[in-house]
Chain A
Amino acid sequence: MVRDSELIQDFLEGDINGFNCLARKWQVRLYSFAYRYLMDEEEAKEIVQSALIKTYKNLRKLKNPEKFSSWIFQITVNLCKDYIKNTKNNRLTALNEEIIQSESANNDHMHSMETRANPVKKLDQQNLAEIIKKTLAQLPEEQRVVIIMKEYEGFKFSEIAEFLSCPVNTVKSRMYYGLTQMQKILKKYNINGDVIFNEM
C-alpha cells in the first residue's frame, strides 16, 4: 500500500495520478462515513465529491502530509455539518416522519415477533441494519457523530475532540449518553448482543 504522503508528493510534483490514487483510496471510507452520518445515499455521494474537490484545491496548502487522514476527515465532517445546518428544517421533518412511520411499523413487527419462539433468529442482516439506522437516526446529531466516528472509523477520543473542536470529556459523555439511548431503543426491539454475536 502506497503511503498518502508519497502520493501527495507525486501530486505536488505535477503527477495528477498521485491525486487520483489518493481519491480512489479514500472515497469508500469517506462515503461510508458520510452515509452513516447523513443516512442518505445521494447526499453522501455529493458530500464525498465536494470533499474531494476541496482536497484537490487545497492540497498544496497542507503543511504536514502525515496528517492527511485527519485533514481530509475534517473537510468531510465540516461539509456534513454545513449540509445539516443548511437543510435542518427539511431534514428534521423528513426524519420525524420516517421515525413515526418506522415506529408504527416496529409495533407491528414487535407484535409479530412476540408470537414467535425465537424472534432474533428471524432477523436477517438487512433488517438489523435498518433497525440500527433508525436507532441512530433518533439520537441527537452530536451524539450520533461521536458514535459513528468511534465505532466505525475507529478514531481516538482525542482525535474526535479535535474534529468537533470540543473537550475530550464532552466527547466521552456524548458517547455515553448516545450508547445508553441506543441500548434503550434496541431493547424495545428485543435485540440482544449475545444472540447476534452467536449468530454471526
Chain B
Amino acid sequence: MKCDKTKEDVFDYFYNEISEKEKAEFKKHVTKCGSCRRALKEIETTSRVLQTWKVPEPDVHFVFAQEKVTWTERIKGLIPSFELLRRHAAVTFAGSIAAVFLLFSIANFKASYNADTGTIMISTSVFGVPEDQFYLELVDKYVNEQMNALFNAFEQRNFEMMDAMFAENENYQREQIYDLMTSLDRDWQLQRQVDLEHVGSSLQTIYDINGEQLDNTIKFFADLFQYAGIREIER
C-alpha cells in the first residue's frame, strides 16, 4: 500500500499543530503504515535527545534602563496620533496657525453696550493692546509690587515676634523646672535626715535592749559558775 502522508504531516502530528480530528485520523493511519511509524519514531528520538541539552542561566545581569523618561517622550506616548501629526506636517502647520489666530482673537475680544442707542458692539482685534490697558497693567504691576513688599515686611515682623515668644516661653519653662528640681532636692535632703534620725534611734533602742539582756546573761552565768564552784568545793 502506498502511503500518501508527507514528512510535513508527520511533523504536524508530532508537534501537535493539527486539529483533534486530524490527529485521531493520523493515529489510526500510523498503526497501519510502517514508514510513517518509523518517521515518527525517529523524530521522537531526536527530539528526546535534543531536550537533554539545558543551557545554564547567564552569570551576569543585563543592564536595564535607569534614566528618566523625558517629558517630550511622555507626551509622545500620551498622544497616540503623534505619528499621524508628524506625517501630515502641512495640515498640522495650518492647524497650528489657525489655533494661534483664534487665541489672539479671544484674548482681545471686546464687547460693549450703549444704553442711549441700545446697540451692542462686539469686536475682536488680532494684534495690538489698547493704550489704556497698557497703563492699567503698569498700575497693576506697581500695586502688586507694593503689596508684595508690605506682605513681606509683615511676614518678617511676624516671624521675629514668634521667635521672641518662643524664646521667652522656653526661658520661663527652664526657670520653672529649675525651681521644681531645687525644691525636690531640698525635700529629699530633709527626708533623708529624718530617716537617718529614725534609724539612729532604732539602733540605740536595739543596743539598749541587747545590752540589758547581755548583762542578764552574764549575771546568770556568773551565778551558775558561782553555784558550780560551790558544788566543786563541796565535793
Chain A residues within CB distance 8 Å of chain B = 12-14, 16, 19-20, 23-24, 27-28, 31-32, 35-36, 41, 44-45, 48-49, 52, 56, 60, 125, 128-129, 132-133, 147, 150-152, 156-157, 169, 172-173, 175-176, 179-180, 182-183, 186, 191-194, 196-197, 200
In the assembled complex, the CB of A113 is this many whole angstroms from the nearest CB of chain B, namely 16
Q: Please, which residues of chain B bring their CB within 8 A of the CB of A186?
A: 46, 49
B15, B46, B53, B76: the one within 8 Å of A193 (CB): B46
Q: Contact string, B177-209, partner A, CB cutoff 8 A, digits 1/0?
A: 000000000000000000000000000000000
Q: Which segment of B66-74, B94-102, B144-152, B219-227 sits at the interface?
A: B66-74
Instruction: Report which residue of B44, B64, B73 has the largest number of chain A beta carbons within 10 angstroms of its beta carbon.
Output: B64
**Given known A-B contacts A14-B77, A157-B11, A147 and B50 have beta carbons under 8 A apart:** yes
* Partner-A contacts on B (CB < 8 A): 7-8, 11-12, 15, 17, 42-55, 57-58, 60-69, 73-74, 76-77
Closest to A180 in B: B42
**A12, A28, A175, A179 — most chain B CB neighbours (10 Å):** A179
Contact call B7/A172, Cβ cutoff below 8 A: yes
Q: How far is the CB of B232 from chain A (nearest CB, A)?
A: 110
A179 near B73: Cβ-Cβ < 8 Å: no
Q: A-B pairs with the 3 shortest C-beta distances?
A: A193-B45, A32-B55, A132-B53
Contact of A176 among B7, B47, B63 (CB under 8 A): B7
Cβ–Cβ < 8 Å partners of A194 in chain B = 45
Check A28–B11 contact: CB distance below 8 A: no
Q: Considering residues B46, B54, B66, which has the most beta carbons from chain A within 10 angstroms of its beta carbon? A: B46
Among candidates B45, B47, B60, residue contacting A151 with C-beta atoms closer than 8 Å: B47
Q: Are B46 and A52 in contact (CB-based, < 8 A)? A: no
In the complex, how many angstroms separate the beta carbon of A140 from the nearest chain B beta carbon?
Answer: 16
In the complex the two chains form, what is the Cα distance from A194 to B47 in whole Å?
Answer: 11
B178 to chain A minimum Cβ distance, whole angstroms, is 57
Cβ contacts under 8 Å, B73 to chain A: 60
Question: Residue A45 contacts which of B7, B46, B58 (CB distance < 8 angstroms)?
Answer: B58
* A20 x B8 contact (CB < 8 A): no
User: Whole-angstrom distance from the CB of B80 to the nearest CB of chain A?
Assistant: 10
B62 & A49 in contact (Cβ 8 Å cutoff): yes
- Which applies to chain A's interface (DSSP): helix, strand, loop or mixed? helix
Chain A hits for B76, CB < 8 A: 60
CB distance from B11 to the nearest CB of A (A): 5
CB contact under 8 A between A151 and B64, given known A13-B77, A157-B17, A175-B11? no
Q: Are A14 and B69 within 8 A (Cβ)?
A: yes
Instruction: Indicate if the CB atoms of A196 and B52 lie closer than 8 Å.
Output: yes
**With A16-B65, A24-B64, A193-B44 as contacts: A173 and B52 at CB distance below 8 Å:** no
In the complex, chain A residues whose CB is within 8 Å of the CB of B57: 28, 31
Which residues of A sit under 8 angstroms from B50, Cβ to Cβ? 132, 147, 151-152, 182
CB of B106, distance to nearest CB on chain A (Å) = 32
B51: A residues at CB distance < 8 A = 151
Given A56, A156, A183, which contacts B45 in the complex, CB threshold below 8 Å?
A: A183
How far, in Å, is A197 (CB) from chain B's closest CB? 5
Give min CB distance, B35 to chain A, whole Å.
Answer: 14
Measured CA separation A23–B64 after assembly (Å) = 7
Q: Would you list 12 pairs from A and B whose C-beta atoms are within 8 A, ordered by A residue? A: A23-B64, A24-B64, A27-B62, A28-B57, A41-B58, A52-B62, A60-B73, A151-B47, A156-B15, A169-B8, A191-B49, A197-B48
Write the chain B residue with the least CB distance to A128.
B52
Contact yes or no, B64 A20, CB < 8 A = yes
